Structure 1
């Protein structure tokens, strides 16, 4: 009888150690996902901060193109108020669309394209777009690792009880799957 008690204690101890290890791993992975998400938000904010300067530069050349300018301002405001990966992704898609329309307007103004402020802003915006792409990839990689961990044994036995659920991926908008047409 004495030997069986020690076996039960050893099994319970092993389960507790496993649960503790799983919990600590999930906390670490969850914080990693949250940190990666913060980087996406940081880059989206950087882009949103650049946009008013770009809009003002375009306004000086294309004052009568108010609809395109207003669409960018509205999309930027929507991005600022969006919540979570799905909301941010949709708002980001809307902003991308509005920016594309604004850049089409800019194409009609050769002096604007030659303006050093406009070129500098476009370079900054392009760099920010690259940073956003990298941050999205890093976030999605972290989400994938986290989601695999909470679904794999033995962690899956503890994850739900400890309050860890799956995270959402930051997905590309539907328009991103279409190849843009460049006309000269």
Structure 2
């Protein structure tokens, strides 16, 4: 009888140990997926940052008296670029400001018929719209992965494993400014 209890206890320890290993590995995979999906957002935000100087130069030739709007866009881009290594929560404010400034430039550009017909401007406007759509898709993918990971971190029994190994909930990346959340109109 003692042997059966010993086997049962050994089996229980083995099952618990395997469960811990499986849960730990799942946390690692999900955390890696969250990091990878954040990288996708970062790529698209960097693409947006690289398109903006071209847009500014194209608009500058037509809208010389709109220098304040262009200066605001350049300053917002510089701030967003300078904070590109921040975590999603810290970076949101800078990206919101940049999106709002970008929208203002595109709205003001509508007042210039020659500019609206310029092929360079139309191409840049198309690329920016495409980039904004890709940012939105990347943000949805990232937030979905964060939701799944954070749910696992906060639910029992995986929250016990998360606490044991230091897995912490992640923050969503969402635009707070509704004007910045909308893609620029083409």
Q: Secondary structure at the match of 1:161?
A: helix
Give the Cα separation in 1 of the matches to 2:28 and 2:161: 12
1:124 maps to 127
Match of 2:94 among 91, 98, 123: 91
2:106 maps to 103
Aligned length: 181
* Stretches of structure 2 lacking an aligned partner (at least 5 in a row): none
Give the Cα separation in 2 of the matches to 1:48 and 1:174: 18
1:6 maps to 7
Give the Cα separation in 2 of the matches to 1:175 and 1:5: 63
Deviation per CA, 1:1-47: give whole Å up to 9, x if none: 33322222222211111110001000000000011000000000001
Aligned Cα root-mean-square deviation (Å): 2.0
- Would the aligned equivalents of 2:175 and 2:181 in 1 still touch at CA under 8 Å? no
Deviation per CA, 1:109-128: give whole Å up to 9, x if none: 11111100000000000000
TM-score by length of 2: 0.91
- Would the aligned equivalents of 2:96 and 2:180 in 1 still touch at CA under 8 Å? no
Deviates more, 1:148-157 or 1:123-132: 148-157
Deviates more, 1:98-107 or 1:56-65: 98-107
Structure 1 residues 77 and 177, CA gap change in structure 2 (3 angstroms): closer
Quote how far apart the aligned CAs of 1:178 are: 9.4
| 1:39-50 equivalences in 2 (<5 Å) | 39-50=40-51
